[in-house]
Amino acid sequence: MNRKIVKTIALETFVLVVVLSAPWQTRAQDTKAPYPSMAPLDQYLMDRNAEIALARSAAPESISRDADVLVLGRHGYETAVKGKNGFVCAVERGWMGPFNGADAANFWNPKVRGPVCYNPPAARSILPLTYKRTEMILAGQSKAQIADGIKTFIKQELPPLEPGAMSYMMSKEQYLTDDDHHNWMAHLMFYTPLMDGAVWGADLPHSPVMLNPQFGGAPEPIDVFMVPAGRWSDGTADPVR
């Protein structure tokens, strides 16, 4: 074979490999990262009344009926209902999860709906992180830009973490994962400075305490410990699995 024929065969082989393997590559990528980037904004938005009801379902009615309720608009969260007990309920989206790693798979998942009711200390010292992340997401910033922005925000604006900060996530309608149990489990979350999870006995055999990878210093210097509630906010049982 002369040089020209070799060159032609090599080129055709390369093209064939690329063409034939492309669908496989795409499928493998989908399996690994089904939500690699932000979906159109509309997919993250909800009917206003449905969002208010979903937000309130995060906690028992005795708590959520007098809480502030937020809804997500095109430029960030807005207060839709003014409360009087200092609690704040909202429906968080996937981007409140970890930025990287295996637990980041749902970061851009437009189906994620995380109803949460913050108690007053958490409303003052944790909720601002939800406002900030969401604001930057809706401004079209990348994960790296958001992580940098959060670092600056923590240094300059975020109030110190208040003792007793916690939140309720007890909505039967919450959608936290594409796995079979979309609503995972009714649970409470407790916010602390960064610490060794072993101090809470977290994730040890038969311990009900779990360390949430949500923040964990990347970049928020906050740990979130979760404890199953055992029942949904409507009082029905949610047996610990």
Partner 1 sequence: MRENGLMFSSVGAIIHATKGKLMNRKEFTVVASLIFAMIFVFGAPRQMQSQDNKNPYPSMAPLNQYLMDRDAEIALARSAAPESISQDAEVTVLGRHGYETVVKGKNGFFLPVTFEECGFSMASDGARW
Query: Which residues would be at the binding site for partner 1 (CB under 8 A)?
Result: 198-199, 201, 204-207
Environment class of 10 (CB within 10 Å of its CB; exposed 0-12, middle 13-18, buried 19+): exposed
Q: Whose Cβ is closer to partner 1: residue 68's or residue 223's? A: 223
In whole angstroms, the minimum distance from the beta carbon of 213 to partner 1 comes to 20
* Helix intervals (H) in the chain: 3-32, 48-56, 61-64, 120-125, 127-138, 143-156
Q: Hey, what amino acid is at 106?
A: N
Q: Is the peptide bond before 219 cis (omega within 30 degrees of 0)?
A: yes
Of 76, 80, 78, 74, which is closest to residue 56 (Cα–Cα)?
Answer: 80
Strands, E assignment, 93-230: 114-118, 166-169, 187-193, 210-212, 222-228
Q: Whose Cβ is closer to partner 1: residue 36's or residue 201's? A: 201
Q: Whose Cβ is closer to partner 1: residue 23's or residue 163's? A: 163
In whole angstroms, the minimum distance from the beta carbon of 204 to partner 1 comes to 4
Q: Whose Cβ is closer to partner 1: residue 209's or residue 218's? A: 209
In whole angstroms, the minimum distance from the beta carbon of 122 to partner 1 comes to 22
Angle 127-138/143-156 helices, nearest 10 degrees?
140
In whole angstroms, the minimum distance from the beta carbon of 240 to partner 1 comes to 12
The bridge status of strand 88-92 relative to strand 68-73 is parallel
Structure tokens at 32: 């690994």
Q: Whose Cβ is closer to partner 1: residue 46's or residue 227's? A: 227
Of 48, 184, 61, 65, which is closest to residue 114 (Cα–Cα)?
Answer: 184
In whole angstroms, the minimum distance from the beta carbon of 181 to partner 1 comes to 23
In whole angstroms, the minimum distance from the beta carbon of 198 to partner 1 comes to 7
Q: Whose Cβ is closer to partner 1: residue 11's or residue 198's? A: 198
